[in-house]
Amino acid sequence: MSAAPRNVVVIGHGMVGSRFAEEVVRRDPGGQRVRVTVVGAEPEPAYNRILMPELLSGRLEAEELRLPGGEAPAVTVRTATAATAIDARARRVSLSDGDALDYDELVLATGARATLLPVPGLAQEGGQPAPGVATLRDMADCRRVLSAARPGAPMVVLGGGLLGLETARALTERGARVSVVEPAPHVLPRQIDAAGGEILAAELANLGITCYTGQGAARWLSGYGMELEDGQVVAADAVVVTAGVRAETELARAAGIAVERGVLVDDTLSTADPRIHAIGDCAQHKDGGAGLVQPGWEQAAVLADLLTGTAPNARYSGGRTVARLKVEGVELTSLGDVHADDEAETITLADPPGGRYAKLSVRDDQVVGAILLGFPDAAATIAQLYDSYAPVPQDRLALLLGRSLPETTEQPASGGTGDAVVCYCNGVTRDQLDAAWRDGARTRDDLAATTRATTGCGGCVRDVNALVAAWSERDSGPNDLVEAARA
């Protein structure tokens, strides 16, 4: 007689908790090995948090953000239900509705929460955002921001990181007049250097976004705007604070599980209690990864391998990440150490009138860092080189200009090596897309349904569209051409 399925409880039905359930179903569709119960504090079923700026801009509707959550007979999802305590000895989780769940294995996927900066006026006494103040982490935040984003409304975004700029751009698309306040000397201090930051700020100004850099916010004056450290007031009806997140670790800490910045996990994604695991933004692995979806999704797959027993030797070992700014009208990719000028051979290209800037740092013939603003083709190639630790061709300038691609590497649209990653969030290679195409996937949506490419941050949509166009042309026979000519 086979053993009863193990009872896995997942706390958090966000991007990683829902992906874990989906990965379990892929490995164990009938639920013979594992039964999963996911509890999620948010009222909505899982959605793609990364695409919330698209909701703000009006380009997507809320339903279009829905994520698959592992719908299957062996998966139960309880939305609007928070876990309130973990009893690790009894292996039981208490819930906000008074119920309790026993577990064989517990998965923490509680994510992170947005932090409000300690700027006077931003928070009310209980720590809640003051009127006119919002963060952007969940749908409730999104609705709050949307209610302030009227055409012509002056708004401030506090924090000029990736999220801040994406939010600012989305709000301008709604017609708001947006200012970004960033205390560092330039926006995107982690992704770009001073010279590139200046060109980027000019590009943002062309899109109607004013950047105030080099000084922080001093006070939020409700009804007036944001007072800066030098005393000037940036007029605003509302402020969106995009100044970082903190891992949601309170439950774990209260249960005696070791926590630093996040819940400490090893390569099997287990805490010191082997029955309790953590994945996604709430987890802290020695090789990093929190804050981005790709490592969280990879962790979800590894943990599903382990808990279903389908790959008992699976391990999470971290990996390289590539940052892309998803702002309509601006193409920016940043990777590795972008301030490596002193320790690496560095080549830069600046074209302020064209709004373009490129910087490539190479050590021992390998990419150690790159900033590519307005160089989408070079960005795709250099990201590939970085990801695969491949040698950089001798003619660095030609590489930046997209004229000399390494022998084994071409632009994704025209070919490219099969193992080149196209969708970083889901780790989908060109070979996998090609195989799906040959199996009959003929549109971007078909390819997304088969491979998951484009379903993460959306940064690869352009590349996948280009592949669809190139392959359609390649495969269109004489009859298709006649049909196309008639159409």
Ligand X SMILES: Cc1cc2nc3c(=O)[nH]c(=O)nc-3n(C[C@H](O)[C@H](O)[C@H](O)COP(=O)(O)OP(=O)(O)OC[C@H]3O[C@@H](n4cnc5c(N)ncnc54)[C@H](O)[C@@H]3O)c2cc1C
Q: What does the binding site for ligand X look like in residue numbers (CB under 6 A)?
A: 11-17, 39-42, 49-50, 52-53, 82-83, 109-112, 136-137, 163, 248, 251, 280-282, 291-294, 296, 326, 457
Sign of the C-alpha dihedral computed for residues 484, 472, 460 and 13 taken in this order: positive
Query: Listing from the earlier edge strand, what are the strands of the sheet with 100-102?
Result: 83-87, 92-95, 100-102
Rounded to a whole number of angstroms, the minimum distance from the CB of residue 161 to ligand X is 10
Rounded to a whole number of angstroms, the minimum distance from the CB of residue 84 to ligand X is 7
Of the two residues 105 and 248, which places its CB atom closer to ligand X in the complex? 248
Residue 485, SS3 per DSSP: helix
Of the two residues 358 and 457, which places its CB atom closer to ligand X in the complex? 457
Report residue 142 as tokens: 């999104």
Of the two residues 257 and 362, which places its CB atom closer to ligand X in the complex? 257
Residue 217's nearest CA partner among 133, 299, 159 is 159
Rounded to a whole number of angstroms, the minimum distance from the CB of residue 110 to ligand X is 4
Rounded to a whole number of angstroms, the minimum distance from the CB of residue 387 to ligand X is 15
Taking the C-alpha atoms of residue 107 and residue 21, their distance in angstroms, rounded to an integer, is 10
Rounded to a whole number of angstroms, the minimum distance from the CB of residue 101 to ligand X is 11
Rounded to a whole number of angstroms, the minimum distance from the CB of residue 444 to ligand X is 18
Taking the C-alpha atoms of residue 196 and residue 190, their distance in angstroms, rounded to an integer, is 12
Rounded to a whole number of angstroms, the minimum distance from the CB of residue 181 to ligand X is 18
DSSP annotation string for 154-217: EEEEE--SHHHHHHHHHHHHTT-EEEEEESSSSSSTTT--HHHHHHHHHHHHHTTEEEEESS-E
Of the two residues 304 and 362, which places its CB atom closer to ligand X in the complex? 304
Residues whose CB falls within 8 Å of the CB of residue 2, separated by 6 or more in sequence, listed in order? 32
Rounded to a whole number of angstroms, the minimum distance from the CB of residue 311 to ligand X is 22
Of the two residues 21 and 344, which places its CB atom closer to ligand X in the complex? 21
Rounded to a whole number of angstroms, the minimum distance from the CB of residue 82 to ligand X is 4
Of the two residues 21 and 400, which places its CB atom closer to ligand X in the complex? 21
Rounded to a whole number of angstroms, the minimum distance from the CB of residue 292 to ligand X is 3
Q: How far is CA 244 from CA 53, 87, 124, 156, 419, in A?
A: 16, 30, 19, 16, 34
Taking the C-alpha atoms of residue 153 and residue 212, their distance in angstroms, rounded to an integer, is 18
Do the beta carbons of residue 330 and residue 373 sit within 8 Å?
yes
Of the two residues 158 and 400, which places its CB atom closer to ligand X in the complex? 158
Of the two residues 227 and 463, which places its CB atom closer to ligand X in the complex? 463
Rounded to a whole number of angstroms, the minimum distance from the CB of residue 335 to ligand X is 13
Of the two residues 95 and 221, which places its CB atom closer to ligand X in the complex? 95
Taking the C-alpha atoms of residue 67 and residue 23, their distance in angstroms, rounded to an integer, is 13
Of the two residues 227 and 277, which places its CB atom closer to ligand X in the complex? 277
Taking the C-alpha atoms of residue 460 and residue 416, their distance in angstroms, rounded to an integer, is 14
Do the beta carbons of residue 233 and residue 221 sit within 8 Å?
yes
Q: How many CA atoms lie within 13 A of 49 on its CB side?
A: 23
Of the two residues 108 and 420, which places its CB atom closer to ligand X in the complex? 108
Residues whose CB falls within 8 Å of the CB of residue 21, separated by 6 or more in sequence, listed in order? 10, 36, 38, 69, 70, 75, 77
Rounded to a whole number of angstroms, the minimum distance from the CB of residue 135 to ligand X is 9
H or E stretch covering 462: helix 461-475
* Backbone conformation region of residue 282, classed left if phi is above 0, alpha if psi is from -120 to 50, else beta: alpha
Taking the C-alpha atoms of residue 283 and residue 286, their distance in angstroms, rounded to an integer, is 10
Sign of the C-alpha dihedral computed for residues 270, 271, 276 and 280 taken in this order: negative
Report residue 140 as tokens: 């409730």
At position 1, the amino acid (one-letter code) is M
Residue nearest to ligand X (CB): 14
Of the two residues 91 and 137, which places its CB atom closer to ligand X in the complex? 137
